[in-house]
Amino acid sequence: MIFKTVLNSRIFLWTLLAIPSIPMILAFANGAVSEDGRPATEFLLHPTGEFAARFMIISMIISPFRLMFPKNGFWFWMVRRRRYFGVAAFTYAAFHTVLYLIDMGSLQAVLGEFLAFGIWTGWLAFFIFVPMAVTSNDASVRRLGRFWKPLQRFGYLAAVATLLHWMFVHNEFGPALVHFVPLALLETYRISRVFGSGSTAAPA
């Protein structure tokens, strides 16, 4: 009973989602330097971006897995907490963006590389994240009504922009594809199930 109460606690889930950020925040606060001499604002860019992408992917694979295993209690539990993972993705993305701005050092430097493909795709993903995160609450669901779900569907565009940002900033496709190919396969399955059955929506 106690375990179930803890598992269903918002504090427990927020703590779980925050755990990866703890060493990052400490490194940033202490002005840590990597073994190869890079400051925290630089060497933390990759892990913060990775966790933003991972939590975004987790929030997006929940619906396909719920379709695949409709009677599984775990995926029902995940559906009810999907927004937490989306907000966590935005929080790590915001941390990633702050580190980037500090590392660049000036607005001129930021604008100077803004049009680079790997950069503006990252900004696009972040700007999409903002309204999605702000409206990830019950009050916004009620206020926006039927417009809420279409707004949240912009997450698919954010996912594509995140994938492109990851690949072209680092000029390596392998790690990004390892994360995003499973998402693409699961979304293909979900779309085929939804349209194949004549339904208009995945299970909530």
pLDDT digits (tens, 9 = 90+) for 122-138: 999 999 999 999 998 88
Mean pLDDT of 111-119: 95
The predicted structure's pLDDT at residue 7: 77
Report CA torsion sign: 82, 88, 91, 92. Answer: negative
Q: Calculate the CA dihedral of residues 185, 186, 191, 192 and round it to 10 degrees.
A: 70
The predicted structure's pLDDT at residue 155: 92
Higher pLDDT, 44 or 170: 44
Residue 77 scores a pLDDT above 80:
yes
What rounded mean pLDDT belongs to the chain?
Answer: 91
The predicted structure's pLDDT at residue 164: 95
Q: What is the DSSP string of 88-108?
A: HHHHHHHHHHHHHHHHH-SHH
Residue 204 scores a pLDDT above 50:
no
Q: What pLDDT band is residue 9 in, cutting at 50, 70 and 90?
A: confident
Mean pLDDT of 172-179: 89
The DSSP symbol for 201 reads: S
Mean pLDDT of 144-149: 89
Higher pLDDT, 203 or 40: 40
What is the rounded CA–CA span in Å between residue 36 and residue 43? 10
Contact of 18 with 89, CB cutoff 8 Å: no
Residue 23 scores a pLDDT above 50:
yes
Least confident stretch, 2-11, 35-44, 152-161, 194-203: 194-203
Tokens representing residue 191 in the block: 């779309």
